[in-house]
Amino acid sequence: MERLITLAQLFLNFANVIILLYALYRFLRKPHDDIERRICEVEVAIKDIRASLLQGNDRFRNQDSTNEVLIHSTLALIEFEIQYCLTEKKQLSKDLEKVKEDLHNYLARRGDLSRSN
C-alpha cells in the first residue's frame, strides 16, 4: 500500500512537472503567437486595401472614358453651333469662340486634340 502511494505521488509529481513545462512553453510561445496573429490580420487588411484600390482605379478609368466622351461631344456641339452660325450668316458670339478656344487649349494640354478632330 505504501508502495502504491509512493508511485501515485511520483506519478502526480511527474504530471505536475509536465504541466509546468507545458505552461512554460505556452508562456514563452505567446509573443510569437501574438505577432503571427497580428501579421495575419495586417496581411488581410492589406489585401482588402489593394482590392479597394483596384476597384477605385476601375471606377476612375470609367470616369475618365465618360469624361472624354462628354468633352468630345461638347466640342462637336460647339463646332456644330459655329458651323450653323456661319451657314446662316449670323454673328458668332465671343463666348462661343472663347469656349471653343478654351476647350481646344485644354485638349491640347491633355494631348487629346488629335483625337477630337
* Predicted confidence (pLDDT) per residue in 60-75, tens digit: 777 888 888 888 888 8
End-to-end CA distance of the chain: 108
* Type of residue numbered 88: E
Q: Average pLDDT, whole number, for the chain?
A: 86
Check residue 20 and give its pLDDT: 96
CB 104 within 8 A of CB 71: no
> Residue 76 belongs to what H/E stretch?
helix 2-87
Which of 32-46, 62-76, 89-103 has maximum average pLDDT? Answer: 32-46
Indicate the pLDDT class of residue 116, thresholds 50, 70 and 90.
very low
Check residue 112 and give its pLDDT: 63
pTM of the model as a whole: 0.46
pLDDT(110) > 90: no
CB 72 within 8 A of CB 115: yes
